[in-house]
Amino acid sequence: MDARILLMALDALFLLGMTAWLGAILFVSFGVAPIIFTILDPSQAARFVRALFPRYYAWGATSATIALASFTGGVLVLPEYRGTWALAQIMVLLGGILINLHCGNVLTPRINAARDAGPEQADRFARLHRRSVRLNGLMMLAGVALVVAHASRPEPTGPGVTEPTPSERALRGVERWEGRHGGPPRAPGPSNPIDRPR
């Protein structure tokens, strides 16, 4: 497959992952969270939030993982995209995955426990909730920055990594043999020292 066609497929997958991740953050932060406690009574709202947020963070981690895999694939396909800037974007994506996993598996259960503890844990609940809001804001800014960086990436100028044909691979094997052994490979047989029993 041509490197540019593969890059187009990987770019589409990257944008799909980023759209799913950013779309979920925007929808939950600005569409769902502000109205949960105004529409539902407190007990129903608490049950809804407990069901929503683990799935929300799992969705975010999965979407960011898809974006990370496809972005890394694009960097591997076109060597001209490699470098410090690509490494920084990979680290941001990895950080987003880890934040989603932390929020879904550590922070959300702690928030739920603080809410269940009642008024004596109100300060702890408020502190953990603020941390959750800040981490979601950080992920949203990181996601927007990644999409902008991807959109402003220059067009590739090189051919990218190309897969050799079987005949080219065989020719390279013969050339390596000649370089090591000083001549073309010989047919197997008793006169060939490689085939003699040792």
Full DSSP string of 15-61 = HHHHHHHHHHHHIIIIIIHHHHHHHS-HHHHHHHHHHHHHHHHHHHH
Asked if residues 129 and 7 have their Cβ atoms less than 8 Å apart, the reply is: no
pLDDT at 174: 82
Mean per-residue pLDDT for 14-23?
96
pLDDT at 93: 97
Confidence check: pLDDT of 1 > 60: no
pLDDT at 45: 85
Q: What is the pLDDT of residues 63-82, one digit of tens each?
A: 999 999 999 998 888 888 88
**Rounded distance between C-alpha atoms, residue 139 and residue 17, angstroms:** 14
3-state class (DSSP) for residue 123 = helix
Q: What is the pLDDT of residues 106-143, one digit of tens each?
A: 999 999 999 888 888 889 989 999 999 999 999 999 99
Per-residue burial over 2-26, b if 16 or more Cβ lie within 10 Å, else e, is ebeebbeebbebbeebbebbbebbe
Per-residue burial over 126-164, b if 16 or more Cβ lie within 10 Å, else e, is eebeeebeebbeebbebbeebbeebeeeeebeeebeeee
Confidence check: pLDDT of 195 > 70: no
Half-sphere exposure of 124 (CA within 13 A, CB side): 15
Confidence check: pLDDT of 190 > 70: no
pLDDT at 154: 83
pLDDT at 127: 95
Confidence check: pLDDT of 21 > 80: yes
Asked if residues 5 and 159 have their Cβ atoms less than 8 Å apart, the reply is: no
Name residue, tokens 């197997």: 188
